[in-house]
Chain A
């Protein structure tokens, strides 16, 4: 019998009796269809393991796209008290500020579909993607890279990759203020200095999509979205620089744990007090890597605009919003009736703030923050909006995508790249991929159905559906 307590149709509680040492309960958002997969791997154990960490408040949460990760489950949210809690590098993950950005156009599906091959060819030429691919800007000097780490997307705009208006529609305006490049190792910089402006490989992509359905016309209107509109979704992160920052601080935190007498049930949960020198250094290094990711998405935005201008004669693609999936942020939340300063770890989860939160852009203030949920390649993606209920239950967080269900190897075995490209073309989706194996590993059948995931967050009230997006062209790393 399941150890989970079903609270309602979409909420499953992991009681403290699940494992020794749990200081708080765990809560999983899922439907009856999704909970089976979640119970099948180590997700429950990992959510419970997180609940053993010091200074967490509320519950250890998992979103409906949750699956087994390292230490923390992917799709996990955990909030630590700023004064007494811990920060965990593993609770943010290796791809710091892996995130998604949505661009909107004033073009319609029927104007772009006939030219989609040319659009993709141009984007594929201009946006470096795939394994080992270097950025077209060449290797940056350490001085210039430090400016990227300090300024994030602002650096990119300063260099001509975009306009000031872009910055208003990003979490943190595309620049986390507490970055300190001095806390980022030479090795991390060495990995990052020629990777700025690259998509990378794995599940990263850029997709040309159209708005296939509007669920909430008032909010869609505020986000500048309308039916049949062409939009572009960009999914990438901080590349090797962020991976190395996490690798470095996992080691620093393990040493710190000895110093502070902290023990964890899984080494990947290595953590230190937020207010310790190690904790503060990590947050500054993490913010630097997050800024690298913001700059990265900004540069890819610029080349996408150029490709649209060249092929379609219209490169006007304003930013709808840019969200982080892997991040820890200092935020104020109400916990049991009182206002608390917390460090919210989102590991494969999206911030989903409602209207009137000071962190969201002025022109979205009356509707709430756009929550961008990419689906697996060739399926569909969603735009949601943050809710009050998310503030009450999930520290203003929601899901981040479909969530992988099969191993890359299993995904690859099921289909050849040629067959996959043909099948997608049949569905009206054109694909350019840097490698055949990269494509088949991202076979949509390897993922959970993103629509099921989105239904859960919508019905549970921790984000609300605004629009559905369907791809017509995909660039894969």
Chain B
């Protein structure tokens, strides 16, 4: 499987499948996948940085918290993501630097509001050849 993400379709919602060589890579792709649903990624410049530090009870819970953080930054603080670098992801803890900018309606091509991240058919599969994630969003 190739590294990256793809968007999944389902009658009531939209999902993201992300594959990376490591858990960290897969989490980064999932974040980029989520962003691509909200906004046209090419329209966002990396002019600001945000630092994120999170804890989760298990990889699935951490994935939901991680993506929920990105939704919050968009919907609560008008911050759109263009790039992401997870510096630490171990023992249920995640630290990351997000690059992006404040939402500007005339500049950014917004596509869709994402309400929330769900636990529906949530999956984090760590295999020798890489890590596969699947998560569904409420839109």
B11 touches A70 (CB 8 A): no
Q: Is A410 an interface residue (CB 8 A)?
A: yes
Indicate whether A202 sits within 8 Å of B11 (C-beta atoms), given known contacts A132-B105, A191-B75. no
Question: Which of B60, B110, B115 gathers the greatest number of chain A CB atoms within 10 Å?
Answer: B115
Neighbouring B residues of A266 by C-beta, 8 Å: 119-120
B110 close to A132 (CB less than 8 A): yes
Q: Could you give, for residues 173-213 of chain A, a 1 whenever the CB lies within 8 Å of some chain B CB and a 0 otherwise?
A: 00000000000000100110000000011100000000000
CB closest residue in chain B, given A201: B113
Contact of B68 (CB < 8 Å), options: A70, A247, A254, A408:
A247
Tell me if A70 and B72 are in contact (CB < 8 A). no
Question: Is A397 engaged at the interface, CB distance under 8 Å to the other chain?
Answer: no
Partner of A410, one of B9, B61, B122: B9
- Given A70-B120, A131-B110, A244-B72, verify A408-B115 contact (CB < 8 Å): no
Q: Are A408 and B9 in contact (CB under 8 A)?
A: yes
Given the known A-B contacts A70-B138, A191-B76, A240-B76, are A202 and B120 also in contact in the complex, defined by CB atoms under 8 Å? no
- Report chain A residues within 8 Å CB of B71: 243, 247
Docked-complex contact B103 and A132, CB < 8 angstroms: yes
Q: B12 touching A404 by the CB < 8 A rule?
A: yes
How many chain-B residues does the 8 Å CB contact rule pick out? 33
A201 to B138, CA, bound (A): 12
Q: Does B97 contact A (CB under 8 A)?
A: no
Is B136 part of the binding interface, using a Cβ–Cβ cutoff of 8 Å?
A: yes
Question: Is A366's CB within 8 Å of the partner chain B?
Answer: no
Q: Which of B57-104 contact A (CB under 8 A)?
A: 57, 60-61, 65, 68, 71-72, 75-77, 103
Tell yes or no: A302 within 8 A of B by CB: no
Determine the chain A residues whose CB is within 8 A of the CB of B9 once the complex forms. 407-410
Chain A, range 226-249, C-beta contacts under 8 Å to B: 240, 243-244, 246-247
The secondary-structure label for the interface of chain B is mixed
Whether B116 pairs with A246 at a CB distance below 8 angstroms is: yes
Complex CA gap A437/B76 in Å reads 24
In contact, A404 and B115 (Cβ under 8 angstroms): no
Q: Is A48 an interface residue (CB 8 A)?
A: no
Query: What residues of chain B lie closer than 8 Å to A202, measured between beta carbons?
Result: 112-113, 139
Cβ-based interface call for A164 (8 A): no
> A405 in the interface, Cβ–Cβ < 8 Å?
yes
Are B119 and A94 neighbours in the complex by a CB distance under 8 Å? Answer: no
Contact A68 B76 (CB under 8 A): no
State the CA gap A71–B77 with chains docked (Å): 29
Is A41 touching B11 in the complex (CB atoms < 8 A)? yes
Interface residue? B50 (CB, 8 A): no
Across-interface contacts of A240 in B (CB, < 8 A): 75-76, 115
The answer, among A67, A191, A200, A438, for a CB contact under 8 Å with B11, is A67
Q: Which chain B residues lie closer than 8 Å to A408 at the CB level?
A: 9, 14, 139
Interface flag for A74 (CB, 8 Å): yes
Contact B12 A68 (CB under 8 A): yes
Interface check B23, CB cutoff 8 A? no
Residues in B with CB closer than 8 Å to A191 are 72, 75-76
Whether A71 contacts B139 in the complex (CB less than 8 A), given A132-B103, A240-B76, A409-B9, comes out as: no
What are the residues of chain A within 8 A of B72 when measuring CB–CB? 187, 190-191, 244
Q: Which residues of A have CB within 8 Å of B122?
A: 267
B12 to A71, Cβ gap below 8 A? no
Q: How many Å from the CB of A284 to the closest CB on chain B?
A: 20
A93 to B116, CA, bound (A): 10
| A267-B76 Cα distance, complex, nearest whole Å | 25
Question: Is A113 at the interface (CB under 8 A from chain B)?
Answer: no
Query: Given A132-B105, A240-B76, A244-B72, are A268 and B12 neighbors across the interface (CB < 8 Å)?
Result: no
Q: Across the interface, do A268 and B119 meet the contact criterion of CB distance under 8 Å?
A: yes
The answer, yes or no, to whether A329 is at the interface (CB within 8 Å) is: no
A69, A74, A132, A404 — which one has the most chain B CB atoms within 10 A of its CB? A132
Q: How far is the CA of A268 from the CA of B105 in the complex (A)?
A: 34
Cβ of B49 under 8 Å from chain A? no
Q: Does A172 contact B (CB under 8 A)?
A: no
Scan B123-139; emit 1 where CB is below 8 A from any A CB, else 0.
00000000000001011
* A408-427 vs B, Cβ < 8 Å mask (1 yes, 0 no): 11100000000000000000
B118 on the A face (CB < 8 A): yes
- Minimum CB–CB distance from B36 to chain A (whole Å) comes to 13
1/0 per residue, CB under 8 A from B, across A63-79: the answer is: 00001111100100000
Q: List 23 A-B contacts (CB under 8 A).
A: A68-B10, A69-B120, A70-B118, A70-B120, A70-B136, A70-B138, A94-B116, A191-B72, A191-B75, A240-B75, A243-B71, A243-B138, A247-B68, A251-B61, A254-B57, A267-B119, A267-B122, A268-B120, A407-B11, A408-B14, A409-B7, A437-B111, A438-B112
For the complex with contacts A70-B13, A267-B60, 8 further pairs of A-B residues with Cβ separation under 8 Å are A94-B116, A132-B103, A132-B105, A200-B113, A247-B117, A254-B57, A268-B119, A409-B9
